[in-house]
Amino acid sequence: MSDPHGGPEPALIDRLTSMQALLALSMAMAEGGDEQRILHLATSAVPTLGRCRMHGVYSGTGWWTATGTPVDTGALDPVDGPGADLEAELAALDEAGGPVMVPGEGWGWAYPLRSLDGQFGFLVAGADRQPPAFDQFLLRVLAQQTGIALANTRLHARERAAAVELRVANEALVATVAAFERRTAIHDRLTRVAVAGEGQQGIADAVHELTGCPVAVEDRYGAVRAWAGPGRPEPYPRQALPVREALLRRIERQGRPDRDGDRLMAVAHPRPDVLGVLVIFDPDRRAGEQEQAALEHGATVLAMELARLHSQVETELRLGRDLAEDLLAGADPQRLLSTAQILGYDLSGPHRVVVTDCPEPGRRTETLLHAVRRAARDHGLGSLLVPRGRAVVVISRDERPWEGFRRSVEQQLAGRCRVGIGGRCDGPTEFPRSHREAQLALRMQDTSGGGDRVTVFDELGVYQLLAEVQEMTSVERYVREWLGALLDYDASKQAELVRTLSRYLEHGGNYEATAKALAVHRSTLKYRLRRIREISGHDVADPETHFSLQLATRAQQTLLALRHQQ
């Protein structure tokens, strides 16, 4: 249609202008690349396309973009929402949309936001009265273009996310392949060490080569068994045993290397009684995944090496145990010397039999055996040892640091230990006698009281003389003559008068020292001494009587030790 002057009608011009604006808007939304911007453009354009007002954009989740609200991060919050009634209407509409009751408007309509990918929600507009058909057409086209723009934006977002995921996956794959190649190189290098039998030094050298860090192989107690790299500290630092044990237990529980100051440590534990530690010195804390992998694999190879060494030692110990059994049994001297020569053990020169006992109940003999073996090695006692009951017997070279040996066993047991030392042996036939003497020395600790200690048979004094008496009947008669009444009283009353008398005499009649040794009060001690005088009829203050009673108490202790030994 045209006006009388031959030009197009104003209404057609307006429609063409609106269509042109809608086309430009569609192009802007297609290039927007962001859902927030697209929604902002759509909601801002509604008033320019007809005599309508934009009331918001509704999605299936119920979120709105209020008209005139800038579309930013929080623009989809339900600010000034449409109300529960309108929201319920929108939720009930099908994909084609339709009329809705918009609060404050005489007319309302929900236009679907959809594309080939499906529907995103509705664009809700309202007016005082129903707009012309062309205005509604423009709104429908706007909603459709908005849906298409949203679909394209989401498609591009998915493509970008997929590209990012692919790039990340490729980077991870490259890193995985590189890590696999590094681990393969570590595995190959340490496998060559194991196959070639290079031992603990070879393991340390290989881990040093793989990490560039100084490396140490330590035993359970912190002593260095192998070192590779520069800067070995002298003297090598060693922790106190309780601190060391707590550290190793923590690393074992974690099941992976752990730090202790400048050191990165891994535990090799092939058996309960065997333990080694592989250490990387890393004061700058530069050790990463590759260094930890080398340390872990090195600890595995170290465990294999320790298991091999342990098996070898077990064989040697078994042969040595057989020799020790024959020595204690008094086997043929020539056979003993021949067996010792085959094992490379020198039986010439003086020896002693050492009996080590752990008085704590529940302590396994195997645990004591390993503790005694390590202490005997460290203090030069030798390697011939054999378990006997709850004790461990060592065939030792003469004159060793006995107390240092006992303390070392205690330290490794983290418990109590006592030691009996037999008399000197100058030939293979004398070991049974030295064994009996060591047992007696150990039993004397039970009968004479006192704490855990080393008792040397040669230093027992009068006890040694009494123990060597061939006919003990006379000794028993002597004990009955001087202590018979007290022994009978103790047996019938379950008292401790003989023990009290023995401690009193040993402490030279000192009340304070005797009461402390017996763990009784002075008044209790005085009462017991008065009862001893009344029952025995002996005056302890008399020097001759004092000597006879002391000899009798020691003879009684010796008899008890000999009976216990039998």
DSSP string of 211-228? H-S-EEEEETTS-EEEEE
The band of 71, judged by pLDDT with boundaries at 50, 70 and 90, is: very low
Whole-number pLDDT of residue 203 = 92
Q: What is the 3-state secondary structure (H, E, C) of 52-112?
A: CEEEEEEECCCCCCCCCCCCCCCCCCCCCCCCHHHHHHHHHCCCCCEECCCCCCCEEEEEE
122-148 pLDDT, tens digit each? 888 889 899 988 888 888 888 888 888
Position 465 scores a pLDDT of 60
Average pLDDT over residues 402-413: 89
What is the residue extent of each domain of the chain? 10-160, 197-231+240-312, 341-460, 467-565
How far apart CA 510 and CA 503 sit, in angstroms, is: 10
List Cα–Cα distances, 492 to 488, 552, 556, in angstroms. Answer: 6, 20, 18
Average pLDDT over residues 199-214: 92
Rounded to the nearest 10 degrees, the angle between the axes of helix 10-32 and helix 35-49 is: 170
Q: Which fold does the domain 197-231+240-312 belong to in CATH?
A: Beta-Lactamase (3.30.450)
Model pLDDT, residue 274: 60
Q: Give the pLDDT confidence score for residue 227 in this predicted structure.
A: 95
pLDDT score for 78: 43
Q: Is residue 465 within 8 Å of residue 558, measured between CB atoms?
A: no
Lowest mean pLDDT among 148-152, 327-331, 455-459, 560-564: 560-564
Q: How far is CA 267 from CA 136, 299, 419, in A?
A: 79, 6, 33
What is the per-residue pLDDT for 2? 46
- Per-residue pLDDT band for 32 (boundaries 50, 70, 90) equals low
CATH code, residues 341-460: 3.30.70.270
pLDDT tens digits, one per residue of 345-390: 778 789 999 999 887 777 777 888 888 888 888 888 888 888 888 8
Owner of token pair 């008292």? 495
Integer-rounded Cα radius of gyration of the chain:
48
| Tokens 């503790």, located at residue | 371
What CATH number belongs to 467-565?
Answer: 1.10.10.2840
- The burial of 30, by beta-carbon neighbours within 10 Å (0-12 exposed, 13-18 middle, 19 or more buried), is given as middle
User: For 211, what's the count of Cα atoms within 13 Å in the CB-facing half-sphere?
Assistant: 33
Work out the percent of the chain whose per-residue pLDDT is above 90: 12
Q: Which of 188-192, 422-426, 454-458, 544-548 has the lowest mean pLDDT?
A: 544-548
pLDDT in tens, 72-93: 333 444 444 566 788 888 888 8
pLDDT, one tens digit per residue, over 291-317 is 888 898 888 899 888 888 777 767 666
Do 296 and 182 contact (CB within 8 A), yes or no?
no
Is it true that 10-160 and 197-231+240-312 share their CATH fold?
yes
Summarised one tens digit per residue, pLDDT across range 425-461 is 988 888 988 888 888 888 777 766 666 888 888 877 7
Predicted confidence band of residue 68 (pLDDT cuts 50, 70, 90): very low
Rounded-to-integer distance, Cα 157 and Cα 34, Å: 9
Tell me how far apart the alpha carbons of residues 90 and 358 are, in angstroms, rounded to a whole number: 87
| Percent of the chain residues topping a pLDDT of 70 | 87
Mean pLDDT across the chain, nearest whole number? 81
Q: How is domain 10-160 classified at the architecture level of CATH? A: 2-Layer Sandwich (3.30)
